[in-house]
Amino acid sequence: MPELPEVETTLRGLEPHCLNRSIIQIDINQPKLRWPIPPQIQLLKNARITAMQRRAKYLIMSTDKGHMIWHLGMSGSMRLLPNQDPGVKHEHVKITFENKTSLRYRDPRRFGALLLTHDDPLLHPLISPLGPEPLSEDFHADYLWQQCKNRKTAIKNVIMHSHIVVGVGNIYACESLFMSGINPKTSALRISRKRIQALVEAIKMVLQQAIEQGGTTLKDFTQSDGKPGYFTQSLKVYANAQNCVQCGHAIKRITQGQRTTYYCPSCQH
DNA sequence: AAAGACACCTGTCCGC
DNA sequence: TGCGGACAGGTGTCTT
């Protein structure tokens, strides 16, 4: 489900309500996520939330007793509800605060994760090898150009690889390639420096706009207040259009790396 | 070192 | 109404 804008939207929605809250109870209804939730998570009882941040698609909640590292996988979402609210199916984790609200983690497919670390969370083995944040200055045309120039694989696979750049999932990969007029199948090393520049700008623009509109709701993503993301209506190619909004040509649907790609064969070369 | 396949899991939708 | 199959927003790990 969630790509970078959806995780960022979740963070921004939760942070004002979670910061400085004290945890009085942790209920694990289903520990079997991508990795089992460590039982030591209970050590965070009576801890206070001191900071929240996003790195790639990981959401990091720091406390005075350790750091929670969350991932939403394909179908995860987080909400705050009144403590007595029964919630819905697949709410695997409930973290109750002293003010009678509780954080609910819901993830029907259970590809997500909740991990615990006492070290610097950015040095965690899942996080330290990650590439630059796409919206940071570290992600620029020279960098992506260097990453592309020796790679024969299709450009879409390159921008979706988290060790190259994080946060670009299937939707926004398709959208940014459309915006920059690049065919997703094009071998990375065959793309000019100038077009790589256009791609970098498109990735930044698409992600930034999606964040501003609260992410994309295809099926069941909701912001932490329960509202859908409004970027859905801005999608140009992904699962939306039969025909290209620019030229009217039929949108083509192919498979790359076991993921569905949508593109316009007329506008994207 | 790079690239591709596979695994994990549930829900939904479509055709018969 | 039921059943089978395809498909879904991710990514670590294993195999070529």
Q: What is the pLDDT of residues A143-188, one digit of tens each?
A: 999 999 999 999 999 999 999 999 999 999 999 999 999 999 999 9
Average pLDDT over residues A112-138: 97
**Separation between Cα atoms, residue A154 and residue A159, nearest integer Å:** 9
Q: Is the CB of A161 under 7 A from strand C?
A: no
- Which one of the listed residues A55, A57, A104, A156 is annotated catalytic? A57
- Do A141-263 and A4-123 fall under one CATH topology? no
The identity of residue A31, as a single letter, is P
pLDDT surpasses 90 at A252: yes
- Count the Cβ atoms, other than its own, within 10 Å of residue A92: 21
Confidence (pLDDT) at A218: 83
Residues (193-252, chain A) with CB within 7 Å of strand B atoms = 219
- Bridge-partner residues for A4, per DSSP? none
User: Do residues A163 and A177 make contact, with C-beta atoms less than 8 angstroms apart?
Assistant: no
Residue A103, pLDDT above cutoff 70: yes
Token pair in block for residue A105:
């983690």
Whether any strand C atom is under 7 angstroms from the Cβ of A220: the reply reads yes
CA–CA distances in Å: residue A227 to residues A10, A12, A18, A92, A214: 11, 14, 19, 21, 9
The Å distance, CA of A3 to C1' of C12, is 17
Tell whether the model's pLDDT for residue A1 goes beyond 70.
no
State the average pLDDT over residues A130-142: 97
Give the CATH H-level superfamily of domain A4-123: MutM-like, N-terminal (3.20.190.10)
pLDDT given for residue A227 in this prediction: 86
For residues A227-249, average pLDDT = 89
Flag whether the pTM goes above 0.95: yes
> Measured in angstroms, what separates residue A240's CA from nucleotide B15's C1'?
22
- 8 A C-beta contact, residue A180 and residue A200: no
Name the token pair of A24: 């009085």
In what helix (H) or strand (E) does residue A198 lie, and over which residues does it extend? helix A193-212
Domain coordinates in residue numbering, chain A: 4-123, 141-263
Cβ of residue A187 lies below 7 Å from strand B:
no
Kindly report the CATH class assigned to A141-263: mainly alpha
Q: Say how far A218 CA is from B13 C1', in Å.
A: 14
CB of residue A34 closer than 7 A to nucleic acid strand C?
yes
DSSP state of A169: -
